[in-house]
Amino acid sequence: MTISVSQYMLFSLHKILEVLHKLPAESKQVERKVLISLVSFFNISPQLPDGQDLPLPPVILGELVKDPQKPTVCFYGHVDVQPAKKEDGWKTDPYKLTEINGNLYGRGATDNKGPVLAWINAVETFKAMPVNFKFVIEGMEEAGSLGLEKLLQEEKQCFFSDVDYIVISDSLWLSNKKPALTYGSRGNACFFVEVECGSKDLHSGTFGGIIHEPLMDLIALLDSLVDHTGRIQIPGIYDSVASLTEEERKLYESIEFNLEEHKNNSGVKKFLYGTKEEILLHLWRYPALSIHGIEGAFHEPGIKTVIPAKVIGKFSIRQVPNMDLSVVVEHLESVFSKRNSPNKLKVSMPLSAKPWLADVNDPLYKAARKAIKTVFREEPDFIRDGSTVPVARMFQTIMQKSVIMLPIGAADDGEHSQNEKISRHNYIEGAKMFAAFFLEISKLHRHLHETSNMETNN
Amino acid sequence: MTISVSQYMLFSLHKILEVLHKLPAESKQVERKVLISLVSFFNISPQLPDGQDLPLPPVILGELVKDPQKPTVCFYGHVDVQPAKKEDGWKTDPYKLTEINGNLYGRGATDNKGPVLAWINAVETFKAMPVNFKFVIEGMEEAGSLGLEKLLQEEKQCFFSDVDYIVISDSLWLSNKKPALTYGSRGNACFFVEVECGSKDLHSGTFGGIIHEPLMDLIALLDSLVDHTGRIQIPGIYDSVASLTEEERKLYESIEFNLEEHKNNSGVKKFLYGTKEEILLHLWRYPALSIHGIEGAFHEPGIKTVIPAKVIGKFSIRQVPNMDLSVVVEHLESVFSKRNSPNKLKVSMPLSAKPWLADVNDPLYKAARKAIKTVFREEPDFIRDGSTVPVARMFQTIMQKSVIMLPIGAADDGEHSQNEKISRHNYIEGAKMFAAFFLEISKLHRHLHETSNMETNN
């Protein structure tokens, strides 16, 4: 059975309404009332650069319970997936959930339909919800959450006005067995470096040896960015990166991370660093610079003796908090000026996604840690993501509220890959953990509220 | 009127036969006999790598006169052209010869139909040819003279066995007005530098900062090739390049070359060198290295945060005589080894076209210089070509005989471009010059022969 995004949304909606119908008839009218879900579909359609409107699947905003005494937790999930075909190498129909040896296989099983269903299950377990619950389900995450930011902005003072905490469960544990809490992700700043000598490509027989080739200028610029040990060579780039605290270092020591497995996943022979801690620090905590390619130069198989007239080098810096990126342009301009080249240099930053970093001592993290200990019976790893997680950053920036990424999928779930799965164990225990988390955050919030009231009364 | 390559070949053939018919009836039977042209069509069809045969237009081999007392001059020309359409910006139908203000416009007017017809005209002027004449006309030059080399090899001991001199008129003067003799061309060695970390591209979020990126290794390798002044940085690369002689330097001083015009043609703001002599020396006399591009990296518009797993850098060296290119691989391997990279490096040279250099004191050049002085009333420029001229090198290598490139087209003829032309003046005077050249080479050859006989007799 193949389900489209909109069908799945209707299905999710149906599940939510089921929660209401399942309420025992004998439950008090007031309880029934506060549990009534208000669900709205928001049709978002961002405008393309040419002015055209793009019709997108709607975003579902919903709420369950509205009690001023309770904290309001907002859950974010998405129900769209990456394309998948049986021919890609799937052992089962990617769009039919199939259980094999305790694993639930299917596109979206872990990214992100499984976790979305798990929180619906968690909500179902309560006769009376301990928190006010709001949720956002979108259908464009895999395409960059088109239109979502605008919607969040518009609803900030309305639907989201009373939200206290934001929970995203759209990531994975770092290990196959040990639960994790994600508290940060690197940002990403993409740079285009354009060098141009004129409007037309030249013949290397007729001009080779007498002109300043733009591609040579560009290669020198790109080569000045990183040394062979992986250290970024842009002066000042590390100045604003916070130093590692002892508390932070300790977090890294206890993390369960299979270095050999990660190396095998990459297919490379050797990493730049030898220990688990160094690898994780350089993946999460320190900036990294990657060079992606060159536009405008000869890129096809075979030979073409061309001197390209305009080339655009593309690199990106995975940025960490506090970084000052103005030094990048300064550096490139300085290296270029030393070359005495008559060519035209243009540096631009077409994308700058900021990093996201949460406070691990925030009530959200305390509640989640307790919930994990209760259900999984062990301490979670406190992890970050080397990739950019735009949604976490987007919610944090717009709502100005605490955000947690609370994964229930394991490292080997294979999101976006063939045979994506979530284990039955993670799915069921994950739903329980969400329920435990609701209880913990309501307790902590009440405690904070009382403390704050006491302070006010003093 | 549009003429196909084969139609043109038949037309050329017809013209040759006309020469014979035009012979005055009263001419002695013996003269008539030696002037009989033997013309053969050689069907060449090189095999493609997949074993398939490629049918090509035939090559015409012909001869006029066979007198053991006379030197045998072999003329090479081609009648195929680059594609052209009126919509490309032609003022006239590119396949109809049109005269405007003393210029003959048409595709192939200068490259190479005009010069081919001019030598037919030159041959026509003689009642009794002063030389034995052989000719080669092919129809695949613009596609890289497919099949020609094999044919030359096969006919080396047959058709070409008695050839003394080879004349190619498939180049241009360096100036619009001053005649030139071409005595050399740079070769071209293309290099592929492949760096590979594994079989799959990686995500810069998940692996950026912890791996030795193949593209960074490659960029460092490419950046080590040339400094910002254009000087090749490969140790030893200049060691085998012959030093400039005083005699050679003098040739450069008298050359008519419009530096500003060449700069305007390139569209660049500034050359690496400031004087005519330096520019020409670096275009013809010294090797040049150009970087063409990278295969396997991201080359499209927009952003892709990929770490490419396998990248192939492509550069070429326009080589000059005597160069030892083994230093290129040594240098790259040495730079790479200093990076301590676990990646795999592979350097290959998929193309190595040798340079061609003639002796300007060879009888061919002496005869051509005299003929030019007689017809155009000035000394020719002695020039080289920065690009590779595979045909000159091919004839020189296979025949082991002197080769001259004797252009009659001017610098502004615009070969391969819109509105290609040859001036009526150059066409007519060029034909005369070819005729004068036949006389001069026959005189010089007789003189050499006599001197050599005298030496033998002494």
Instruction: Tell me the pLDDT tens digit for each residue of A203-237.
Output: 999 999 999 999 999 999 999 999 999 999 999 99
Spatial distance between the Cα atoms of A303 and B311, rounded to a whole number of angstroms? 15
Mean pLDDT lowest among A129-143, A186-200, A426-440: A129-143
**Could B290 and A223 be called an inter-chain contact, meaning their C-beta atoms sit closer than 8 Å?**
no
| Greater pLDDT, A49 or A65 | A65
Which residues, including other chains, have CB under 8 Å from residue A24's CB and lie 6 or more apart?
Answer: A127
Active-site residue, selected from the candidate residues B141, B194, B217, B385 = B141
Quote the minimal CA–CA distance from A178 to chain B in Å: 19
Mean pLDDT lowest among A177-186, B15-24, B157-166, B368-377: B15-24
**DSSP state string for B109-121:** TTTTHHHHHHHHH
Chain A residues with CB-CB distance to B284 below 8 A: none
Chain B residues with CB-CB distance to A271 below 8 A: 210-211
Percent of chain B with pLDDT over 70: 90
Contact (CB, 8 A) for B403 and B356: yes
Phi then psi for B407, rounded to 5 degrees? -75, 150
3-state secondary structure of A206: helix
Residue B425's pLDDT is what? 96
**Could B216 and A291 be called an inter-chain contact, meaning their C-beta atoms sit closer than 8 Å?**
yes
Spatial distance between the Cα atoms of A109 and A174, rounded to a whole number of angstroms? 17
Chain B residues with CB-CB distance to A202 below 8 A: 266-268
Tell me the sheet residues that pair with A80: none
Handedness of CA A430, A433, A435, A437 (dihedral sign): negative
Contact (CB, 8 A) for A181 and A380: yes
Condensed to tens digits (0 to 9), the pLDDT of residues A82-99 reads 888 999 899 999 888 899
CATH class, B188-241+286-353 region: alpha beta
Among candidates A208, A351, A387 on the partner chain, residue whose Cβ is nearest the Cβ of B203:
A387
Q: Which of A192, A204, A352 to mutate to test the interface with B (most CBs of B within 10 A)?
A: A204
Nearest Cα residue in chain A from B207: A283
Which residues, including other chains, have CB under 8 Å from residue A337's CB and lie 6 or more apart?
Answer: none
Chain A residues with CB-CB distance to B388 below 8 A: 205
Is the predicted pLDDT of residue A9 greater than 50, yes or no? no
Among candidates B204, B213, B309 on the partner chain, residue whose Cβ is nearest the Cβ of A318:
B204
Task: Indicate if B362 belongs to the active site.
Answer: no
Phi then psi for A43, rounded to 5 degrees? -80, 115
Q: Write the secondary structure of B215-278 as one string of H (helix), E (strand) and C (coil).
A: HHHHHHHHHCCECCCCCECCCCCCCCCCCCCHHHHHHHHCCCCCHHHHHHHHCCCCECCCCHHH
Handedness of CA B448, B450, B453, B454 (dihedral sign): negative
Q: Tell the residue number behind the tokens 């050689």, with chain if given.
A: B42
Please state the ipTM of this predicted complex: 0.86
Which residues, including other chains, have CB under 8 Å from residue A375's CB and lie 6 or more apart?
Answer: A429, A432, A433, A436
Spatial distance between the Cα atoms of A364 and A406, rounded to a whole number of angstroms? 10
3-state secondary structure of B335: helix
Pinpoint the alpha helices (H) of B358-399.
Answer: 363-376, 390-399
Quote the minimal CA–CA distance from B382 to chain A in Å: 17
- CA-based nearest residue to A205, from B188, B171, B411, B260: B188
Q: Is the peptide bond before A112 cis (omega within 30 degrees of 0)?
A: yes
Quote the minimal CA–CA distance from A90 to chain B in Å: 19
Among candidates A270, A298, A385 on the partner chain, residue whose Cβ is nearest the Cβ of B293:
A298
pLDDT band at residue B128 using 50, 70 and 90 as cut-offs: confident
Domain ranges in chain A? 5-185+355-457, 188-241+286-353
**Could A293 and B306 be called an inter-chain contact, meaning their C-beta atoms sit closer than 8 Å?**
yes
Spatial distance between the Cα atoms of A350 and A314, rounded to a whole number of angstroms? 10
Quote the minimal CA–CA distance from A96 to chain B in Å: 28
Pinpoint the alpha helices (H) of A141-189.
Answer: 148-155
Q: CA torsion, points A320, A326, A327, A332, in degrees to nearest 10?
A: 120
The topology (CATH level 3) of A5-185+355-457 is Aminopeptidase (3.40.630)
Both tokens of A163, joined, read 């939200």
Which residues, including other chains, have CB under 8 Å from residue B219's CB and lie 6 or more apart?
Answer: A219, A222, A223, A291
Spatial distance between the Cα atoms of A119 and A187, rounded to a whole number of angstroms? 28
Q: Which of A268, A295, A388, A418 to mutate to test the interface with B (most CBs of B within 10 A)?
A: A268
Condensed to tens digits (0 to 9), the pLDDT of residues B96-124 reads 889 999 999 999 899 998 999 898 888 87
**Could A197 and B306 be called an inter-chain contact, meaning their C-beta atoms sit closer than 8 Å?**
no
Q: Is the peptide bond before B112 cis (omega within 30 degrees of 0)?
A: yes
Check residue B47 and report its DSSP letter: B
Condensed to tens digits (0 to 9), the pLDDT of residues B301-322 reads 999 999 999 999 999 999 999 8
Contact (CB, 8 A) for A128 and A105: no
- CA-based nearest residue to B375, from B442, B443, B438, B446: B438
E strands in B296-408: 306-307, 310-318, 344-353, 356-357, 381-385, 402-405
Mean pLDDT of chain A: 88
Contact (CB, 8 A) for B357 and B321: yes
Task: Indicate if B141 belongs to the active site.
Answer: yes
Count the alpha carbons within 13 Å of B176 in the hemisphere toward its beta carbon: 9
Is the predicted pLDDT of residue B23 greater than 70, yes or no? no
Q: Which of A185, A262, A266, A348 to mutate to test the interface with B (most CBs of B within 10 A)?
A: A266
Contact (CB, 8 A) for A217 and A386: no
H or E element that contains B84 = none
Long-range pairs for B295-298: beta carbons < 8 A, 24 or more residues apart: B295/A298, B295/A299, B295/A300, B295/A301, B296/A299, B297/A291, B297/A292, B297/A293, B297/A294, B297/A299, B297/B215, B298/A292, B298/A293, B298/A295, B298/A314
Contact (CB, 8 A) for A104 and A421: yes
